[in-house]
Each structure stands twice: as C-alpha cells, then as structure tokens.
Structure 1
Amino acid sequence: MKKIIVNASGAKVGGARTIVETFIQWVELNDFNNKYIFIVGFDIESESENVEIIKLKTNGLLSVFFAVFGILYYSIIYRTNIIFSFMNLNICFPFFNRITYFHQAKFFEEKNFRFMIYKFFLLLQAKSVFICQNEIIKSNLEKLFDFSGKTKVVDLWPGIKIPRERVEPEWFNDFYDSKNIIALCPYTDVRMSHKGFEDVYNAYDFFKNKNIKVLVTSDKHGYSNNDVFYFCGNCSYSELHFLYSQSNLIIFNSLFETVGLPIFEAQYYGLPVVLSNVEYVRNLRNKFNDLNFIVLESKEVRFNLEKVKNIKIPSNHTCFTGEWDQIQAFF
C-alpha cells in the first residue's frame, strides 16, 4: 500500500474546494489499495479507513511556502515521497514523486509579483507530472515553459460532486413565484470582472419583458435588489443544489474558467446554461457536444426563450463522473 500526501491547504471555498471534495469522494468509493493523507483548508470528515484528514488552512504567500517547502514535514512524518498538490505548485525537491493539479487560468494573464513567484517555482518542477483541467490550460502551460519530455502534462476532467441532500434556504418561499421564470446566476462574487456580471445586470429590460427573475448567489456589492434581480448572498453547497432544482435556466457568462463547475452541476438537473461565446466554452463544446448549452451571439445577454428546455443527461455521463481513475498511473 502506497502512502499519498494530498495538499489542499488553500482550497477553502468555491470550485477549488468542490474539486477536492470530489476527489475525496472518488478515493472513498474507488481506491482501497492506497493510503491518502489529505491536508485541507476546510472542515470535512471521512469514514474511509484509507483516508486521513488533517485540517490546515493557508492563505496567499503562506500557501506558496507550504506547498514548496512546508509539506516536507508531513512527508517525513508519514515516510512517503508521493505528493499530490492541488495548490498549482508542489515541493521543490526533485527526489519526490510530484503530481500537481494545475487549475489557475489567471496565471497566463496576470504579471504581478505573486505570479512571478509561481513561475519561478514551477520551473523547479521539471521531471514531474502536471494535471490540468482542460486542453487549453494544458496547451498554455506547455507553451509557457517548454517542458522536456520527462515532464508530463495531461488534462483530466474532475467531474462533479452531488450533495447527499438538498437544503431549502429560509428565504426561498418569500422569493419564489411559480408565475416567473427563474434564472440562477451562481456567482460567489459579482465584483470579479471576468464573470461578466455587469452585462447580466445591464440586461434588466430583457429579463423584465420575458418575466425572468434572476437569482444571484452573491452579496450585492454595490448592486441592489429590484423586481428582476435578487441577491441572496453566498449559500451552502446543499442550498445551491436546491436552487438548481428549482430553477429554469442558469446564467454563467464568464469570460474564462478552468472548468466552470456550475455549468455541469446544472446539467445534472437538465438545465440549459447561458454562456458567452469565448474560447473555454468552445473547448467545452468540443469535448462535450451533447450538453444543454445556450451560447450568446454577442456580449449582450439576450437569447431565445424557445431554447430554454430541460434536457435530462444520463447520470453516468463523463461530465459528471470525471476521469480520476487515470491518476493512479502516476503514483
């Protein structure tokens, strides 16, 4: 039995946390031959005998330091040289078996000090394995560093995690009206410019004329509730899935994502997803050409309501199950 340290100390909320939880769930159900020591930045429990959870939360440059140097402490404690990191970086010492889950799309756009540090330490990770969430990230990483043949860069689809139960938020009954079309906008922070929320908010007249209520899972941050938009604030994962089950469509017009988990969580409920016509969406359509997507023709958020149809996707579809089984070849 191999021992594998999994570093996810900086994964605390949102998609990063969900993907770590998805991997833990996969290990519990599928890999009984190895021992996994998960170092995570959030509360989670596991009853699996081959899974150990260590709670350790890191932020900012501390996350970088821990991923590159601090993780050595746990490798000594558990006597293993296999380290799987969800932190975009991994231990800098070459005698380790390093598998790095690289999921930072901003890495190729930003030029600040933090990302310069990332680039420096990534150059020290030659002769290791990088796992990317899609072909675009894989291609960009290969172009940026021109890795040698001894460095493997692969794309591996993470799949999604379905909560054991759906929880109705306390405010939902006051919001819900069966006469309205509910469009869920599952953004955790509308201030992030790449999410394109300003274009959604500017489509007020379109939504009002079509009797669409837009439910946003973010705090207002300068916007306001009105007869079209309702900002419910951040919700739990179980609450989010309840909102999926009660919605008619999803608006997710982000300009770039590494995965965009809400796109696929919505597919589980058969919901159409309104998307921008950008590179990562075109890549998704090439990979999954049978999903329920409505791609906008321009920056303006307008679409034909005749396309808003519920299409049930088989639960064993690859977009749900993921490709985690392929990772075992690298341990």
Structure 2
Amino acid sequence: MNIALNTLSARAGAGISVFQTLMKALDEVDKTNKYFVFVSSKQNSIISSIPDSFEKVIFKHCPANPYFRVLWEQSILPFYIYKYKINVLYSVGNITSLLAPCNVVLFIENVNPFSKIIKNWTLKEKLRNKLIFYLGWLSALKASKIRFCSKRSMEIIKKIYKIDEKKCFLLRHGLDLSSIKPNIENRFPFNYILTVSVVAPHKNLEVLIKAFAILKSHNLYNGKLIVVGNTDCYQDYYNKLVNIINELKIQDDVIFSGAVNYKEIFDFYKNADCFVFPSLTETFGLPVIESLYFNVPVILSDGSKYKDLFIPFNEIARDYAVYFDPYSEHELAEKIIQAIKNKQEINSKKFIESYYNIKEVAKILVNEFNNLK
C-alpha cells in the first residue's frame, strides 16, 4: 500500500520535530507499506530527516504563505496523489485535500480555531482560525479516520463538528528516546525556571512572568526565567510581554532564547530547577513529556478546574506533575517554590518510557493505515 505523509504545514517548532521522530519510527516498525513524503523545497529540516527508504516528493513551487498553500493543496496536490497512486493520505494541521482520490487519515491537532478564551488575536489570526475551522469541518467529513492526541480535545471537537465516533481514534504523541542525548555539562552559570513554548497568546506566559516577578520581589528565588521558543510568530503578544517585564523591572532576569534546534532543547530541560507550562489552550503539550523524561519538577495548568477548556495536562502527566489555577499568578508562585524546595529524584522518566515511546505510537498509526485497505 502507498501511504503519503503530507508535511507541508509543518513549518516550525513541534510541527517539525513531531514529523522528524514519527518518520524515523515508521521506517523502523513498518517494512510492508511504501511511504511518500510530500514536502516543500524550503522545508530543509524535514527533508534532511526523511528516511532513505521513503520517497521524497519535493515541491519547488508550493507557496509558503499559509492561505496560498491551502489553496495549492486543494487544487494541485490531488494530481500528485493520483500520479503516485497513493492509497492513504496522512494530513496534519486539521486540514486535508478535499479532492484527494484516496482514503484520508486526518490529524486534528490545532485547537485555536475552537477556543473561546483568547480575546486578543489580531484580525489576521481571527481570519486564519475561521478558515481552519470551516476547512477543518469539511476535512473531517472527507476523512476516513480522524486522529486526536488527547481525550479532552477529542471529546470537545467531536461535539462541535458532530463527528461520527467510529471515525475517531486517540493516539498521543511520543518521544524518540534513543535520540535524547543532552550535553553532560550545564550550559548556564545560573539557576533557572524553564518554559518551552512558541510565544503566542494562548500560552498564557504573562501569568508565568507575573509569578516569577512575585518570587523575585520577595527574594524567594535567586535565578532566572528562560522562555525557549520562537518569538516572531505573534509579534504583538511578544511586545506585550516585554512591556510587562519592563514594568515589573525584571528585564535582567527573563531570557527569551528564540527558536532553538530541537536537539539543543534537551540541554535546557536537564538542568532546570523546574518546568512550567501555563497554557490555556493545548491539544497535547509535547514539552510536558519531554521535561518529565528528565525527572524535572513539572508545574502545569489545571484542566480539572476548567473542563470546557482545551487543557489536557491532567490526562497527559497524571500524578507526575503539580497543577495550578492558570489564572492565578499567586498560586503559581507558591507551587514553584514548593516544587523547588521539595525537589527530589522523580520516577517520571520510567512513566514516559512506558507510555510515550514513539515506536509504539507508530505501530498504532500503521495499524490504522492498514485497516483502510
């Protein structure tokens, strides 16, 4: 069977790293099906990660602009699907090619178009989310099977789109455990609290910054806050955070690293005093399981308090994390101090190895592909 992985929407952050690890795992666990990777000539990090046994279909003229790219995928991509006799198309980012002449496995992984809590999107983002919402609905109708990576997102979106439950399956993300090899030495000469996130409105970073300012003003923490992630995607929000930092007079203690190579991220986890993920909207949260793998104290938004929000962390991290009200910087500050004071060897690494191994994820996905024969 010919299976195509459409990677064209994977342009930054976790979107790239997830495909990199998934392709490697599929190559290792599936020796029966033939894989094709649809990729733009500009996606160098994905191209370099494609296994030798997979056929690369590199598009030189696929637009980088997301609106034109979606149009291209709807009008041009079906011809390539037909040309390469694709039996199953695996599409991520909520949208597939509606005219694809084959079965489709759709991955609904972007919950921003469904979120009601983010009020400060720019007009451009509002239009983008509307487009994804309605094309996502049509894509869900087209799809043979629909993947979700958390039960929370599956239950909410299934109701919104009125998706047949038989179409849906839950398959969480995984880690390529063999590739996690951080440097032994601590790359920083200071203690630090860590978060790994694209700087975007739904990441709720202002609450983390305010909690950190409380710690500094009361001399409760002698270290810095490091935010690892791209700062260019939502410039207005980044500027807002910088203004908050300046007003709180903590600009010397907050570091925005910008985008970091995926392999370098593990150096940050290894020596962090704790990891905080304050998001109000997530489908999964890959940094959660990455930090747990390093036995770092992990502090997460409490989804049990807001069951109508896309906060899946309670099901992802279970009892291996500490949870806080994502609207309370004071509670977060208390939880950070507790986590650092009570820091001890945690067994979360074994938990991650058991439940989030990318090879096991790949096996389940291959089984879903094969069921469409």
Q: Is the contact between residue 215 and residue 229 of structure 1 (CA under 8 Å) also seen in structure 2?
A: yes
Q: In structure 1, what is the Cα distance between the partners aligned to 2:139 and 2:226? A: 45
Q: CA deviation at 1:267?
A: 0.9
* Aligned residue in 2 for 1:187: 197
Structure 1 stretch displaced more, 320-329 or 230-239:
320-329
Select the residue among 176, 180, 199 that pairs with 2:189. Answer: 176
Select the residue among 310, 315, 318 that pairs with 2:355. Answer: 318
Select the residue among 91, 94, 97 that pairs with 1:91. Answer: 97
Q: In structure 1, what is the Cα distance between the partners aligned to 2:69 and 2:228? A: 27
Select the residue among 128, 143, 146 that pairs with 1:114. Answer: 128
Q: Is the contact between residue 268 and residue 320 of structure 1 (CA under 8 Å) also seen in structure 2?
A: no
Q: In structure 2, what is the Cα distance between the partners aligned to 1:200 and 1:267? A: 19
Matched, 1:128 2:144: yes
Q: In structure 2, what is the Cα distance between the partners aligned to 1:94 and 1:78? A: 12
Select the residue among 74, 77, 82 that pairs with 1:71. Answer: 77
Matched, 1:295 2:323: yes
Q: CA deviation at 1:265?
A: 0.5
Q: In structure 2, what is the Cα distance between the partners aligned to 1:48 and 1:196? A: 37
Give the unaligned 5+ runs of structure 1.
none
| TM-score calculated relative to the size of structure 2 | 0.76
Q: In structure 1, what is the Cα distance between the partners aligned to 2:196 and 2:4? A: 32
Q: SS at 2:168's partner residue?
A: strand
* Aligned residue in 2 for 1:45: 48
Give the unaligned 5+ runs of structure 2.
117-124, 232-237
| TM-score calculated relative to the size of structure 1 | 0.84
Greater per-residue helix proportion: 2
Q: Is the contact between residue 274 and residue 296 of structure 1 (CA under 8 Å) also seen in structure 2?
A: yes
Matched, 1:330 2:355: no
* Aligned residue in 1 for 2:267: 242
* Aligned residue in 1 for 2:344: 309
Select the residue among 268, 275, 284 that pairs with 2:313. Answer: 284
RMSD (Å), alpha carbons: 2.9
Q: Is the contact between residue 275 and residue 281 of structure 1 (CA under 8 Å) also seen in structure 2?
A: no
The code of the aligned residue for 2:368 comes to: F
Q: CA deviation at 1:73?
A: 2.4
Structure 1 stretch displaced more, 98-107 or 192-201:
192-201
The code of the aligned residue for 2:266 comes to: H
* Aligned residue in 1 for 2:205: 197
Q: CA deviation at 1:52?
A: 2.3
Q: CA deviation at 1:61?
A: 1.2
Q: SS at 1:50's partner residue?
A: coil
Q: CA deviation at 1:168?
A: 9.2
Bigger RCO of structures 1 and 2 (CA < 8 A, at least 6 apart): 2
Q: CA deviation at 1:116?
A: 3.8
Q: Is the contact between residue 106 and residue 139 of structure 2 (CA under 8 Å) also seen in structure 1?
A: no
Change (3 A) 1:160 1:93: same
Change (3 A) 1:237 1:286: closer
* Aligned residue in 2 for 1:23: 22
Q: Is the contact between residue 5 and residue 37 of structure 1 (CA under 8 Å) also seen in structure 2?
A: yes
Change (3 A) 1:95 1:239: closer
Equivalenced residue count is 320
* Aligned residue in 2 for 1:206: 215
Q: CA deviation at 1:328?
A: 2.1
Q: In structure 1, what is the Cα distance between the partners aligned to 2:316 and 2:301? A: 17
Q: Is the contact between residue 300 and residue 313 of structure 2 (CA under 8 Å) also seen in structure 1?
A: no
* Aligned residue in 1 for 2:174: 159
Q: Is the contact between residue 283 and residue 312 of structure 2 (CA under 8 Å) also seen in structure 1?
A: no
Percentage of matched positions with identical amino acids: 20
